[in-house]
């Protein structure tokens, strides 16, 4: 199995990969990456300073060509996080043009921007060999190194190519970070496997997307919300055939606004670092607001209760989502080895809660730890309440969590960014649209919601407030 056949065996393409002000042909990228591969050959694992741009793309590609597992390090990682990643992964080198990229960690830094002498393409590594070590966000403790094999990457990208009718004729545009599944695996390795053009805008701004012609655009809900609030940029995407949203649920009002402004509904998909992408709407099929589609080819899903007993796929029962298939992780880095992920009969517990309809369509409620609220004997999904709040014309952003309550166990608590509006008005607004037990009992008006680098709301920080 060849992981990047369009790069290593395809015809040249003069503008295969481009960023504002710079571009590479397919052969130029292959030569650059091959030179890096020669220099890192024999190392057990290397880190890449994953600043957005061509050097990061070349460095990651060089690691994949050499068969050396790559650890992308977020460029905005704080000193403690960076030191943890480098120490925990035991990276032998940090690939970066910044000689201080390793911080205080005793890891040598190797520059990557010398493109003068192309290297020879090494033999294809075994499919089962680890390709990437992606660190989780660390919301429940220190970030964990998730080991993803070459075979899992190939299976995931091929399943998405089928679902999204993704071909070499496409031009993919995005400005997502190059250290997550969305921006790196889908957004960079996808084009290098399938042969399409890549346009990375460095930052995912409405202006960058609107001024860059393409057939496919990738974004997270925060990006799409900003585009929907910039009508000229949104209308500029009308020639595209696919707008993809992921990494967090897309609010229904944003879904509706994009459909009106761009002439098409966005495609939502679901996945996580440990599983890659497992569920998606289809390019040629229906797209439903608030739902993320059906399992990709080769993937199976199920819902279970707290004891692990299966739950019905009736579109109403909320359960813990488990998945199985060829895209699962090999395990987690532990003490220089790989610790198996602890699957239950081959099923991976995602930590998310969802409903599954009789037709296979999935609706994500959110993280079990923060988005499933147990109040007065009822189970309330935070996302449903957030969508109701966002229907109010004064509300720009909303996040809902459960907070302790002496009688109910938990109470529905909302944090909103809004124009002048009273808390009671918003409580009544939701109560008029949802069941009484789903209305917020507390509403707090805030200036902004805490978010991470991918735009996800950090609900643990809300709980601390």
Q: Say if residue 369's pLDDT is above 90.
A: no
Q: Which tens digit of pLDDT belongs to each residue from 268-280?
A: 999 999 999 999 9
**Is residue 368 a contact partner of residue 321, using CB atoms and an 8 Å limit?**
no
Shared domain check, 433 and 325: no
Confidence of residue 406 (pLDDT cuts 50, 70, 90): confident
Q: What is the mean pLDDT of the segment spanning 212-231?
A: 94
* Residues pairing with 72 in the sheet: 48
Q: Out of 157-161, 334-338, 454-458, give the one with best mean pLDDT.
A: 157-161
Go through 401-413 and write b for each residue having 16 or more CB atoms within 10 A of its CB, e for each that does not: bbeeeeebebbbb
Per-residue confidence band for 300, with pLDDT thresholds at 50, 70 and 90? very high
pLDDT in the model for residue 226: 92
Burial (Cβ within 10 Å: 0-12, 13-18, ≥19) of residue 393 = exposed
pLDDT of residue 204: 94
**Do the Cβ atoms of 437 and 378 come closer than 8 Å?**
yes
- Asked which of 311, 337, 365 is the last residue of a domain, the reply is 365
Residue 159 has pLDDT above 70, yes or no: yes
Please tell me whether residues 314 and 409 are part of one structural domain. no
Q: What is the pLDDT of residue 135?
A: 93
Check whether residue 91 and residue 158 sit in a common domain.
yes
The verdict on 382 and 358 lying in the same domain is no
Averaged pLDDT, 140-162: 92
Residue after which a domain boundary falls, among 341, 365, 389: 365
Answer yes or no: is pLDDT of 306 > 60: yes
- Single pTM value for the model: 0.85
Pairwise CA distance, residues 30 & 46, whole Å = 19
Paired residues of 301 in beta bridges: 323
Domain match, 41 and 156 both: yes
165 in the same domain as 66: yes
131, 181, 200, 408, 454 from 176: Cα distances, Å = 20, 10, 8, 41, 8
Average per-residue pLDDT for the chain: 92
Answer yes or no: are the C-beta atoms of 14 and 27 closer than 8 Å.
no
Do both 70 and 102 map to the same domain? yes
How much of the chain, in percent, has pLDDT values that exceed 90? 70
Query: 454: pLDDT confidence band, cut at 50, 70 and 90?
Result: low
Q: How many CB atoms lie within 10 A of CB 196?
A: 22
Confidence of residue 104 (pLDDT cuts 50, 70, 90): confident
- What residue numbers bound the domain in which 232 lies? 1-365
Say whether both 277 and 220 belong to one domain: yes
Report the pLDDT value the prediction gives residue 173, as an integer from 0 to 100: 98
| Residues 339-362 pLDDT 10s | 998 888 899 999 899 999 999 999
156 shares its domain with 266: yes
Tell me what pLDDT residue 77 has.
81
Position 370 pLDDT exceeds 80: no
The DSSP-derived string for 393-439 is: TTEEEEEEEEEEETTTEEEEEEEEEESS--HHHHHHHHHTTS-GGGS
Element (H, E) at 384: helix 382-390
pLDDT at 118: 76
Q: What's residue 116's pLDDT? A: 60
Count of domains for the chain = 2
Same-domain check for residues 209 and 308: yes
pLDDT attached to residue 285: 94
Q: Are residues 289 and 422 in the same domain?
A: no
Q: What is the pLDDT of residue 372?
A: 77
Instruction: Return the CATH number at 435.
Output: 3.30.300.30
Which CA distances in Å does 290 have to 241, 261, 420?
Answer: 20, 18, 27
> What is the Cα–Cα distance from 271 to 295, expressed in whole angstroms?
10
HSE, side-chain direction, 13 A CA sphere, residue 351: 10
Residues 188 and 211 occupy one common structural domain: yes
3-state secondary structure of 4: coil
Give the domain-ending residue among 336, 365, 394. 365
Cα separation, 319 vs 211, whole angstroms:
42
**Beta-ladder partners of 19:** 22
The dihedrals phi and psi of 384, each to the nearest 5 degrees, come to -65, -40
We report the CATH number of the domain holding residue 346 as 3.40.50.12780
- Calculate mean pLDDT across residues 278-283: 98
DSSP string, 71-126: EEE-TT--HHHHHHHHHHHT-S-EE-S-TTTTTTS---EE-----SSPPPPPPPPP
């Amino acid at each position: 199995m060849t992981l990047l056949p369009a790069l290593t065996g395809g015809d040249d393409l003069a503008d295969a990969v481009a960023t504002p002000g710079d571009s590479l042909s397919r052969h130029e990228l292959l030569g650059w990456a091959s030179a890096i591969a020669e220099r890192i050959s024999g190392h057990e694992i290397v880190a890449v300073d994953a600043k957005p741009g061509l050097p990061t793309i070349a460095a990651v590609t060089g690691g994949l060509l050499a068969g050396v597992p790559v650890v992308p390090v977020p460029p905005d990682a704080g000193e403690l996080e960076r030191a943890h990643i480098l120490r925990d992964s035991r990276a032998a080198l940090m690939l970066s043009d910044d000689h201080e990229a390793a911080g205080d960690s005793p890891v040598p830094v190797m520059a990557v921007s010398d493109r003068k002498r192309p290297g020879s393409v090494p033999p294809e590594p075994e499919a089962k060999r680890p390709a990437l070590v992606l660190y989780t966000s660390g919301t429940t403790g220190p970030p964990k190194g998730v080991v993803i094999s070459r075979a899992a990457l190939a299976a995931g990208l091929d399943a998405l190519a089928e679902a999204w009718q993704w071909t070499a004729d496409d031009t993919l545009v995005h400005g997502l970070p190059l250290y997550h599944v969305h921006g790196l695996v889908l957004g960079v390795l996808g084009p290098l496997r399938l042969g399409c053009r890549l346009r990375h805008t460095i930052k995912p701004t409405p202006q960058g997307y609107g001024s860059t012609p393409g057939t496919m655009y990738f974004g997270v809900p925060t990006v799409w919300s900003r585009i929907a609030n910039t009508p000229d940029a949104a209308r500029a995407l009308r020639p595209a055939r696919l707008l993809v949203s992921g990494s967090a649920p897309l609010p229904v009002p944003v879904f509706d606004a994009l459909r009106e402004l761009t002439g098409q509904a966005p495609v939502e998909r679901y996945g996580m670092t440990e599983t890659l992408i497992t569920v998606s709407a289809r390019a040629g099929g229906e797209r439903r607001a608030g739902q993320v589609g059906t399992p990709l080819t080769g993937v199976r899903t199920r819902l279970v209760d707290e004891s692990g007993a299966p739950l019905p796929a009736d579109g109403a029962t909320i359960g813990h989502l488990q998945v199985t298939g060829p895209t699962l992780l090999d395990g987690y880095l532990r003490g220089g080895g790989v610790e198996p992920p602890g699957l239950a009969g081959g099923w991976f517990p995602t930590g998310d809660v969802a409903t599954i309809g009789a037709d296979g369509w999935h609706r994500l409620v959110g993280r079990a730890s923060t988005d499933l609220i147990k109040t007065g004997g009822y189970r309330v999904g935070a996302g449903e309440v957030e969508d109701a709040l966002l229907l109010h014309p004064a509300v720009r952003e909303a996040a809902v969590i459960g907070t302790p309550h002496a009688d109910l166990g938990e109470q529905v608590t909302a944090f909103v960014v809004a124009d002048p509006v009273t808390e009671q008005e918003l409580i009544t607004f939701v109560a008029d649209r949802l069941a009484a037990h789903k209305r917020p009992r507390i509403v707090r008006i805030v200036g902004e919601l805490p978010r991470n680098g991918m735009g996800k709301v950090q609900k643990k920080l809300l709980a601390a407030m």
